[in-house]
Amino acid sequence: MTKQLRFVALFVILAFVLALVPAAFAQDGTFGLSDEDFALLTDANANSSAAETLAYNFNLALNVTGIEDAEVSADISGTGVLGLSGSPVFSMVTTGSATSNGDTTPTELEVRLVGDMIYWNVGEGWQGSAVEDAMSGAMGSAGNLPINPADLMSGDMGDMGDMGGMMGDLATLDLSSYVGLERLDDMDGAAHFNLSVDVAGLLASEELSGIFGMALGGAMGGGSDMSPEQAAQMGQMFGMMFGDATFEVDQYVNLETELVQRTVLSINLPLESLMGTPGAAVDLMFDISLSSYNEPISVEVPENVEMAEIGG
């Protein structure tokens, strides 16, 4: 198995799991919770999403081990505010460091979004760009993806060939078989909910294995030559490699305000079977706390901004 294929498989797996977990809540059922607890969790997320302003702080820890030329660790903290009332505003300031193959680099970054302009400073002075230009530059590589994001967003699968037909299988995918929810002991006046995903079972499922295999083949340049049966076999093969993988989301809901006050994403992907290296794994923890809902905030346009050329 080539090193490139291993990396493609890893990132496709992360993308699929991250994309499908939110879809679980669009299906009927409570995934193991009581009706009352499920209503509390879903209402809290809806209330938090509807807030016009909030403040946040987060910690990110990442460790990639056992992968040749890709040993990475990062420990990053950040804080900022978000406002969606009227003209949108956003700010983020990060501190910490990242180490890649033994070389450590500070991860000091400041970002501000004011209206339709975004500004950033990595310690070398402020730069700015229109948000539209920045987004166009970020999405410029979409043409290399095996699935066109625009097709997925519009629901138009007509030009996706076998992949389009496979996407229809997702309508029959019962995520309750692979996603579990439970309420744990309350903590400091907050209800503690835990969501877990059966990664291996999900990837190897009849409905998803073909899409997963076709996405892998497409990313490697051979997706168009694969039959649906071959794609499904490839997806199931890779899915079985992640029997010990864990994907969990912990949320803490303030019982008085019914708002989410903290969310923790934890991912562990053992990669020994995929990489052939003992101890190879990806560990990710993202812990974000939310506060000051619907309170006044201010984000200023920085001084001495140099406009960046993006996208040409």
Per-residue pLDDT reduced to its tens digit, 139-159: 554 444 444 444 444 444 344
Inter-residue contact 277 to 66 (CB < 8 Å): yes
Closest of 304, 290, 310 to residue 82, by C-alpha: 290
Comparing 18-22, 87-91, 152-156, which segment has the lowest mean pLDDT?
A: 152-156
In percent, the amount of the chain with pLDDT more than 70 equals 76
Helix (H) or strand (E) holding 189: none
Reading the block at residue 81, the tokens are 């505010």
For the whole model, what pTM was predicted?
0.82
pLDDT in tens, 27-71: 667 888 999 999 999 999 999 999 999 999 999 999 999 877 778
Decide if pLDDT at 3 tops 80. no
Higher pLDDT: 101 or 123? It is 123
E-state strands within the chain? 53-65, 72-83, 89-100, 103-106, 109-114, 117-121, 126-130, 179-187, 190-197, 246-254, 259-270, 281-291, 306-307
